Structure 1
Amino acid sequence: MFVAAASKALASAGLAAGDADTIATVSSTGIATPSLEARVSRELGFRDDVERVPVFGLGCAGGVSGLSIASRLAASRPGSVVLVVAVETCTLAFRMDKLTKANIVATALFGDGAAACVVRASETGLAEAELAGQHTWPDTLDIMGWSVDPDGLGVIFDRAIPPFAETHVLKGVMSILARSDLTPADVDRFACHPGALESALKLNQGTLDQEREVLSDYGNMSSPTALFVLEKLLAQGLPRRTVLTAMGPGFTLSCFSLTAAA
């Protein structure tokens, strides 16, 4: 999945693997050392001096956070090419020895997937990065994550997640936007990781139909899911300002704002 997603993103940008200066690999559903970009380096043709940036543990927020990290890396070295790849194998979490309600629900809801994109500090592109930020709530470590035992990983999903999002997410988004003197009224489209955010962000019913389509077609793929949503929005044309949002273990909200390319 890594190879397919990375190859597609590079080809879409008119680049080869050897053009990548930095690779940010986002994943939370498996642990590999060396990490995935090293394991596929020879197959894809990455340079020996490529910079590797593995990003682990952000769960569903990983795709949005990966874009944020990639944009900062690209901005720090104008002209460099940053490839961000989010890849998850959620089905690895299925445990025949642990048929809890949380594991059964997770197996039904989650799927495997990968997405990638190229980020550059240049005058051309599909969209321009504007702002990025995270908000982590205290005393929320037990809401979402993995439990690690001798037989594998066990999923942690607290039933408090939907009401927590309903109560707190909008305030978190407002806090992140305020760092750039913006408010939700300045956002033309929230592009969300699917799950309870339409109501939490006080959006009109049906606003997040593309998100529902992604969830219906692919399931919750964790970190790549928000990037699948972004792909749909890019295909139809981004409005003036789009803010990607996703939540993950921590409990952490991640936002990344894009403006339409001129």
Structure 2
Amino acid sequence: MRSATLRLLENDPPTLLSVATAVPKHRLDQGEVVAMAPRLFDRARSDIDRLMPVFDNAGIATRYSCVPMDWYLQPHGWRERNQLYLDNAVELLTEAAEKALADAGRTPKDIAAVVVASTTGIATPSLDALLLNRLGLPPTVQRLPIFGLGCAGGVLGLGHAVALARGLDHGDVLFLAVELCALTFRHGDLSKSNIVAAALFGDGASAMVIGRPGSEGVRFGPSGAHTWPDSLDVMGWHVEDDGLGVLFSRDIPSLVRSDLRPASDAFLQRIGLTHADLAGFVCHPGGVKVLDALEEAFDLAPGTMQDARDVLREHGNMSAVTVLFVLQRMLRRGLTGRHMMTALGPGFTAGFQLLEA
């Protein structure tokens, strides 16, 4: 039986009016990255020779980067990296936001609040402030910049945007996410995590227009999160003099297999649902092994999450943005029924967001 809370939220929920995506102009072919990898890492001092199969087994054919391939062959400082982040993040978000507004049949003046999730650079004033004049948003717009959610930012940030939309008496919400993951590659970092990141990371942005209650479109249900105790070392960044150093635990796939299902069961139970009430899942594809683990955790046949695998193959891991690319692809294919969006990020945290088409 559905809880009274869920029935209340479903009476007049915020809706998804549109979703749009954008990628930078530099296309990285995985075969070219493989050929360049021995030049990126000192073969005498790193495990690059032993770890080369990571590039072939990543399930990635192409990715996009805001800088050309040869940029990665030289060291770069934090100031240069962050300026590239600011310039390219604003350009990509502008492109995605303009597409999303046009697709939704909205103008910037219709937006009452803007939420931006990003963890691959620092902006003060925040990215939403930088975009206010660029997009022509109203000076009264509510702004919520979110930093630090990493790969979970697409789902958790969306949950905050939906919550804002529920409380609006006028206007819609613009939810934006941008991650320039490839830009964080540090030439002098010989760690296994940096080698894995070099095989996985890509750049991209997404924009969604969320309609106030009463709007037509895919309906948003409740959202939730689960943070596991004593798990801060599973995923995140080390702030270094020359940029952000990536932190990956090799245990992430096993953690997904053993711990994600109980957390998602508990979330659904709180709102009066079970996994049997779901038509499917919209998941962040952190990597091939993580996708395999997700299918196991949710009792799905191997290869079921084909849209997530396709996004990973064509765009790589774009952190928070990736799950929004997956959602766009599933919507284009005619997604129907109640689905649960989920992503895992630093904390170590799982984010959940229900939607129904």
TM-score by length of 2: 0.71
Output the CA distance in 2 between the equivalents of 1:102 and 1:248. Answer: 15
- Structure 1, residues 40-65: CA drift from partner, whole Å, max 9, x if none? 22221111111110011111110111
- Structure 1, residues 63-116: CA drift from partner, whole Å, max 9, x if none? 111111111101111432110000001012100111222112102201000011
Instruction: Work out which of the two has the higher radius of gyration on C-alpha atoms and give 1 or 2.
Output: 2
Which of 297, 300, 303 pairs up with 1:203?
300
Q: Do 1:189 and 1:239's aligned partners in 2 also have CA atoms closer than 8 Å?
A: no
Give 1:156 shift.
0.2
Q: Which amino acid aligns with 1:202?
A: D
Q: 5+ unaligned residues in a row in structure 2: which ranges?
A: 1-91
Output the CA distance in 1 between the equivalents of 2:200 and 2:216. Answer: 34
Output the CA distance in 1 between the equivalents of 2:217 and 2:321. Answer: 18
Q: Do 1:79 and 1:122's aligned partners in 2 also have CA atoms closer than 8 Å?
A: no
1:11 maps to 102
Output the CA distance in 1 between the equivalents of 2:182 and 2:101. Answer: 27
- Structure 1, residues 225-251: CA drift from partner, whole Å, max 9, x if none? 111111111112222201101000000
Matches of residues 154-165 of structure 1 in structure 2 within 5 Å? 154-165=245-256
1:147 maps to 238
Output the CA distance in 1 between the equivalents of 2:156 and 2:126. Answer: 18
Aligned-pair identity in percent equals 48
1:32 maps to 123
3-state SS of 2:100 partner: helix
3-state SS of 1:223 partner: helix
Q: Do 2:166 and 2:213's aligned partners in 1 also have CA atoms closer than 8 Å?
A: no
Q: Do 1:136 and 1:250's aligned partners in 2 also have CA atoms closer than 8 Å?
A: yes
Q: How large is the Cα RMSD of the aligned pairs? A: 1.1
1:259 maps to 356
Output the CA distance in 1 between the equivalents of 2:130 and 2:221. Answer: 33
1:217 maps to 314
3-state SS of 1:117 partner: strand
Output the CA distance in 2 between the equivalents of 1:89 and 1:125. Answer: 33
1:81 equivalent in alignment to 2:178: no
The size of the alignment, in residue pairs, is: 260
Give 1:168 shift.
0.3
Q: Do 2:172 and 2:209's aligned partners in 1 also have CA atoms closer than 8 Å?
A: yes
TM-score by length of 1: 0.96
Which of 313, 321, 337 pairs up with 1:240?
337
Matches of residues 61-80 of structure 1 in structure 2 within 5 Å? 61-80=152-171
1:227 equivalent in alignment to 2:318: no
Q: Do 2:222 and 2:354's aligned partners in 1 also have CA atoms closer than 8 Å?
A: yes
Q: Which amino acid aligns with 1:251?
A: F
Which has the larger helix fraction?
Answer: 2
3-state SS of 2:273 partner: coil
- Structure 1, residues 135-181: CA drift from partner, whole Å, max 9, x if none? 11000000000011222210000111111111101111111111111
Q: 5+ unaligned residues in a row in structure 1: which ranges?
A: none
1:121 equivalent in alignment to 2:212: yes
